Amino acid sequence: MNVSDPVPALMLSLSVGRREFNLKASGVCLRQGHALLLREGDAEYWTLPGGRIHHDETSADAIVRELTEELGFVPRIERLVWIHETFVRHWDERWHEVGFVFLYAIPPGSPWLDLTRDHVHREDGVAMVYRWFPVADLDRVRLVPVYLRHHLGRIPDGVELIVNREDADETESP
């Protein structure tokens, strides 16, 4: 690497054998009783937009970067609502994720505010489909992590810690 070359981003992620750890920032946008969710490529589930936090980057900076890259505008970050620890077992792999979830707003007049259609963004050739789902109907949506089904309808006044054990089919919130 040449000294003048930019240093590649170092995502805070660790893989050892069949174990994976990620540090992630995600965003919740609510509008008229709907939540904006994301499905990447051929995934069979929906999730919140966001991504891994880079070394030397705050979680708030990470969600602004991720949303700006994916949605094409700079969101207004309102506040941190959840910190979650999620444990997932998939086949013989075990995943552990620590995530910071921020409430954000879309600028007035943005086409992303249209609740009636899918919004598609392509990233590295993969379709990223965004859709507004009624919060009251989230029990019918395959949502990952599962704690979101129950929590998106009740945004806390402060910051809430959620321990989400999908490896044991339990979700608890201290």
Does residue 2 belong to any structural domain of this protein?
no
Give residue-wise pLDDT tens across range 32-54.
999 999 999 999 999 999 999 99
Does residue 5 belong to any structural domain of this protein?
no
CA 165 to chain centre: 17
Domain region containing 153: 13-172
CATH number at residue 152: 3.90.79.10
Does residue 131 belong to any structural domain of this protein?
yes
The answer, yes or no, to whether the previous bond of 145 is cis (omega within 30 of 0) is: yes
The string over 114-152, giving b where at least 16 C-beta atoms fall within 10 Å of a residue's C-beta and e elsewhere, is eeeeebebeeeeeebebbbbebeebeebebbbbbbbebb
The string over 15-45, giving b where at least 16 C-beta atoms fall within 10 Å of a residue's C-beta and e elsewhere, is eeeeebebbbbbbbbbeeebbbbbbeeeeee
Does residue 147 belong to any structural domain of this protein?
yes
Does residue 1 belong to any structural domain of this protein?
no
DSSP 28: E
The number of domains in the chain is 1
Give residue-wise pLDDT tens across range 59-110.
999 999 999 998 889 999 999 999 999 898 877 788 889 999 999 999 999 9
Does residue 113 belong to any structural domain of this protein?
yes
Give residue-wise pLDDT tens across range 98-154.
999 999 999 999 999 999 999 998 888 899 999 999 999 999 999 989 899 999 999
Does residue 37 belong to any structural domain of this protein?
yes
Does residue 70 belong to any structural domain of this protein?
yes
For the entire predicted model, the pTM comes to 0.85
